């Protein structure tokens, strides 16, 4: 006897998105999903829970044939938020004062 709820065709797309979507772009292009539902799916895929131990830039989602790049998931989330521009630049060298104590002795304007 088989349980109808375990059939891939009967799985709810929010609870088992890997059974319905092969990529972040597939999630974005599904007109039946609201923006919130898309965000839920993509955010869950981006979770460290699915990070590939030897390569944290990849996510291995149970039920998917191949790992997905975290960069692709984050790009899809940016598109969802209406930010289609290039991804933010990586962090640079933080700006530091040569003499950190000098900031404490800086005069305020008008003093």
Q: For the segment 14-63, what is each residue's pLDDT rounded down to a tens digit?
A: 555 666 788 999 999 999 999 999 999 999 999 988 899 999 999 998 88
Report the percent of the chain where pLDDT is more than 90.
Answer: 35
Q: How far apart, in Å, are the Cα atoms of 104 and each of 56, 96, 99, 108?
A: 41, 14, 10, 10
In a domain, 91, yes or no: no
pLDDT of residue 57: 93
pLDDT of residue 79: 93
The residue behind tokens 């933010």 is: 88
Q: How far apart, in Å, are the Cα atoms of 2 and each of 21, 29, 61?
A: 24, 32, 25
Q: For the segment 25-34, what is each residue's pLDDT rounded down to a tens digit?
A: 999 999 999 9
In a domain, 96, yes or no: no
Residue range(s) defining the domain that contains residue 69: 8-86
Structural domain total, the chain: 1
**Alpha-carbon gap, residue 82 to 67, rounded angstroms:** 25
């Amino acid at each position: 006897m088989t349980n109808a709820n375990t059939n891939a065709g009967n799985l709810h797309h929010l609870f088992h998105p890997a059974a319905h979507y092969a990529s972040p772009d597939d999630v974005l292009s599904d007109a039946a999903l609201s923006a919130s539902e898309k965000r839920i799916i993509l955010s869950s895929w981006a979770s460290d829970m699915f990070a590939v131990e030897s390569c944290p830039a990849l996510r291995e989602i149970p039920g998917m044939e191949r790992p997905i790049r975290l960069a692709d998931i984050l790009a899809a989330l940016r598109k969802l938020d209406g930010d289609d521009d290039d991804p933010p630049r990586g962090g640079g060298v933080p700006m530091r004062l040569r003499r950190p104590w000098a900031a404490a002795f800086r005069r305020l304007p008008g003093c």
